[in-house]
Amino acid sequence: MRLAVVGAGSMGAQIAQQAAINGLEVRLQDQSPEQLRRADASNRGHLMRRVEKGKLAALDAEAALARVRTSIALADAVGDADFVIEAVFEDLELKRSIFADLDRLAPAAAVLASNSSTMGISKIADATRRPESCVNMHFFYPVLVMDLVEVVRGPATSDATVKRAMQLARDMGRAPVLINKEIDGFIVNRILHAASQEAYRLLDAGVASFEDIDVAVEKGLNWPMGPFRLGDFSGLDVTYSARLHMYKTTGDERYRPSPQLEAKVKAGKLGRKTGEGWYRY
Ligand SMILES: NC(=O)c1ccc[n+]([C@@H]2O[C@H](COP(=O)([O-])OP(=O)(O)OC[C@H]3O[C@@H](n4cnc5c(N)ncnc54)[C@H](O)[C@@H]3O)[C@@H](O)[C@H]2O)c1
């Protein structure tokens, strides 16, 4: 099985490395040599920490790193691939143009998957002549830690493609779930949004402080992080734009972003990455 990953950002780099840890040969492509260097250095850092903790043998770590070969040229990366996972910026036109290129450059039998968090594959697959071989494979950040993969079939996705995507996720040591219909937010983000929307409603109504809502969710529901701590971790700009997207696409008032969240984003208090969000870091 030859896997190619297109886009070597936060997601692509770790998707490639997770596959290589599980024995797959992977080509990792990005248009930016700097991103490829960063991906390589970051993956090395992660694996070496596992070696230091005694969780991975040094030789296995080196072998897993060597199984990811980086490339700038898309044709080189996907020319003999059995399976391609796209993880470039969340931009529909960019993804469509990459899928059109993949259709031209990857073998006719290759599956083309997108890691998009918000774009159902039907929006992208018709840029190719093989919509039946296109599917969403939604990994979670950080991919080296998070077990789940949401496999989402579009209206044109074939049973064979779904089967291959589910199997690839298992071969990568990940747990796939199948979503039979394209739906905004898939499963996890829908449930997360519903819960965190309620948390924001309680905050905006002055029912409890954000700290107490976090403690209640962490201690009462056993979630590792409450909604506000999690927002700081993923970036409040990401939470905000996901909410705005849901609000705009559904028109449902329940998804209107909280004014307090909007104020944080406008003030540039985006969470850990800026040193302050709901909490200070
Ligand atoms: N970050 C997350 O938590 C997360 C979680 C699940 C899914 N996703 C999805 O994964 C995808 C990537 O997200 P990310 O956070 O890794 O983004 P990122 O900004 O870290 O990385 C995107 C990468 O794509 C590369 N790229 C852009 N145009 C390209 C092109 N034409 N050819 C090759 N490479 C190109 C960029 O150089 C960059 O390295 C998005 O679709 C996003 O919705 C993100």
Q: What is the rounded distance in angstroms from the CA atom of residue 281 to the CA atom of residue 271?
A: 8
CA gap 208, 197 in Å, rounded? 14
Residue 261 has pLDDT above 90, yes or no: yes
Q: Please return the burial class of 218, using the count of CB atoms within 10 Å of its CB with bins 0-12, 13-18 and 19+.
A: middle
pLDDT confidence bin for 175, thresholds 50/70/90:
very high
CA pair distance 169, 148, nearest whole angstrom: 9
Residue to mutate, 17, 78, 89, 186, ligand 1, most ligand atoms under 8 Å from C-beta: 89
Give residue for tokens 């006719």: 108
Q: What does the alpha-carbon distance between residue 250 and residue 143 come to, in Å, rounded to a whole number?
A: 29
Nearest Cα residue to atom 27 of ligand 1: 88
Beta-bridge mates of residue 113: 85, 135
Q: How does residue 11 score in pLDDT terms, banded at 50, 70 and 90? A: very high
Enter the pTM of the model: 0.91
Pairing of strands 148-152, 134-139: antiparallel
Q: Take residue 121 and report the two structure tokens written for it.
A: 């594959």
Ligand 1 site residues (CB inside 6 A) read: 6-12, 29-32, 35, 87-90, 94, 98, 115-117, 138-139, 141
pLDDT tens figures, 177-230: 999 999 988 999 889 888 999 999 999 999 999 999 999 999 999 999 999 999
Q: Which tens digit of pLDDT belongs to each residue from 51-95?
A: 999 999 999 999 999 999 999 999 999 999 999 999 999 999 999
Report pLDDT digits (tens) over 79-137. Answer: 999 999 999 999 999 999 999 999 999 999 999 999 999 899 999 999 999 999 999 99
Q: What is the mean pLDDT of residues 130-153?
A: 97
How many whole angstroms separate alpha carbon 249 and alpha carbon 259? 19
**Each residue of 236-251: b (16+ CB within 10 Å) or e?**
bbbbbebbbbbeeeee
